[in-house]
């Protein structure tokens, strides 16, 4: 059942906050510590796994065709490239959580197997794993020694895989196999800076706009315009490690202007481009 945020959280965290940072020593794993009340994530996906714990309140999110609710102590395990949302659960004032985003190769290495590690259940009740994730996350945030961070990361990945990974999902492996959807995805990847239209994409695929929109959404999990938005955000995220201005990055990534860029970036990553840049430069 969704829960209100505790009096402690409501008293000390009266405004939304989010801190995102990257640890180059851990293969550039990214971390997020955030408290949200009204923030709502747009449908999006991550190139990495998303692993975390709800500390307070409750988050609801749509994932793999179903709505899920994560309450305090819940472990969240999301697969790479799976579309999901995120917002305060009904009846909850907001939610407070800690997340980390390890890459696919890192998780595969931790499993000791060559196949993709598949987590079938996105919300899990595992107090021991939750405690381990929180302890590691806080240690990483406080600047613990490298060996402590490395050991903590390996420990929680191994535990999550051992207890909760299952055989590879056929659906996960084949959802992008439709030739037309794959063609259009590649076309968008190569032309994301242009003002693409559905008519142009349909012409490339030799399909009607209606049919293209339907098969693309079924295969990728997003309609073409939302996928284009995600590609632009990912491109901008990569550019934020450099010294170019935010206005230059906005245009380079295909956004109309900087406010447009900022709005969409936060809807996907939970922080503004400026906050993200400061975070990755501070490490």
* The predicted structure's pLDDT at residue 4: 52
* The predicted structure's pLDDT at residue 174: 40
Q: Is the pLDDT of residue 252 over 90?
A: yes
Instruction: Between 107 and 176, name the one with better pLDDT.
Output: 107
DSSP character for 95?
Answer: E
Which of 102, 120, 126, 103 lies closest to 65, judged by CA? Answer: 120
Least confident of 98-102, 139-143, 177-181: 177-181
State mean pLDDT over 85-101.
97
Dihedral Cα 148, 79, 55, 146, nearest 10 deg: 10
Phi/psi class of residue 28: alpha, beta or left (left: φ > 0; alpha: ψ in -120 to 50)?
left
Six-digit token string for 38: 């009204």
Q: Which of 124-133, 140-149, 204-213 has the highest mean pLDDT?
A: 124-133
Counting residues of the chain whose pLDDT is more than 70, the rounded percentage is: 90
Q: Is the pLDDT of residue 1 over 90?
A: no
Q: Is the pLDDT of residue 148 over 60?
A: yes
State residue 39 phi and psi, 5-degree precision. Answer: -60, 140
Count of beta carbons in the 10 Å neighbourhood of residue 33: 20
Q: Is the pLDDT of residue 6 over 80?
A: no
Per-position DSSP letters for 117-139, written without gaps between them:
PB---SEE--HHHHHHHHHHHHH
> What CA–CA distance (Å, rounded) separates 132 from 144?
15
**156 exposed, middle or buried (CB, 10 Å; 0-12, 13-18, 19+)?**
buried
> What CA–CA distance (Å, rounded) separates 12 from 7?
8
Six-digit token string for 42: 């747009």
Dihedral Cα 108, 109, 112, 117, nearest 10 deg: -10
Homologous superfamily of 7-169 = Regulatory protein AraC (2.60.120.280)
Count of beta carbons in the 10 Å neighbourhood of residue 14: 10
* The predicted structure's pLDDT at residue 177: 40
Phi/psi class of residue 206: alpha, beta or left (left: φ > 0; alpha: ψ in -120 to 50)?
left
Tell me the domain boundaries of the chain. 7-169, 176-220+222-281
Q: Mean pLDDT over all residues of the chain?
A: 89
Q: What is the pLDDT of residues 210-231, one digit of tens each?
A: 788 888 888 888 889 999 999 9
Homologous superfamily of 176-220+222-281 = Homeodomain-like (1.10.10.60)
Does an H or E element contain 45, and which? none
> What CA–CA distance (Å, rounded) separates 245 from 2?
42
Q: What is the pTM of this model?
A: 0.78
State mean pLDDT over 72-89.
97
């Amino acid at each position: 059942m969704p829960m209100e945020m505790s009096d402690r959280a409501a008293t000390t965290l009266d405004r939304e906050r989010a801190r995102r940072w990257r640890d180059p020593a851990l293969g550039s794993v990214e971390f997020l510590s955030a408290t949200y009340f009204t923030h709502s994530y747009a449908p999006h996906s991550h190139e990495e796994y998303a692993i975390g714990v709800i500390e307070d309140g409750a988050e609801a999110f749509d994932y793999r065709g179903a709505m899920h609710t994560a309450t305090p102590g819940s472990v969240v395990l999301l697969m790479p490239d799976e579309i999901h949302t995120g917002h305060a659960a009904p009846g909850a004032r907001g939610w407070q959580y800690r997340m980390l985003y390890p890459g696919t190769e890192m998780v595969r290495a931790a499993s000791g197997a060559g196949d993709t590690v598949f987590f079938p259940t996105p919300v899990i009740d595992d107090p021991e794993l939750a405690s381990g994730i929180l302890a590691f996350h806080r240690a990483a945030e406080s600047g613990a020694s490298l060996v402590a961070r490395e050991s903590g990361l390996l420990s929680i990945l191994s535990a999550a895989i051992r207890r909760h990974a299952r055989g590879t999902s056929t659906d996960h492996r084949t959802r992008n196999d439709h030739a037309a959807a794959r063609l259009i995805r590649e076309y968008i990847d190569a032309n994301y800076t242009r003002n693409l239209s559905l008519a142009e994409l349909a012409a490339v695929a030799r399909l009607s706009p209606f049919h293209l929109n339907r098969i693309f959404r079924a295969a990728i999990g997003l309609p073409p315009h939302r996928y284009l938005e995600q590609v632009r955000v990912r491109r901008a995220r990569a550019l934020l490690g450099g010294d170019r201005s935010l206005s230059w990055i906005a245009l380079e990534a295909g956004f109309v202007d900087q406010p447009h860029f900022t709005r969409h970036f936060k809807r996907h990553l939970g922080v503004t481009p400026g906050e993200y840049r400061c975070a990755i430069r501070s490490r």
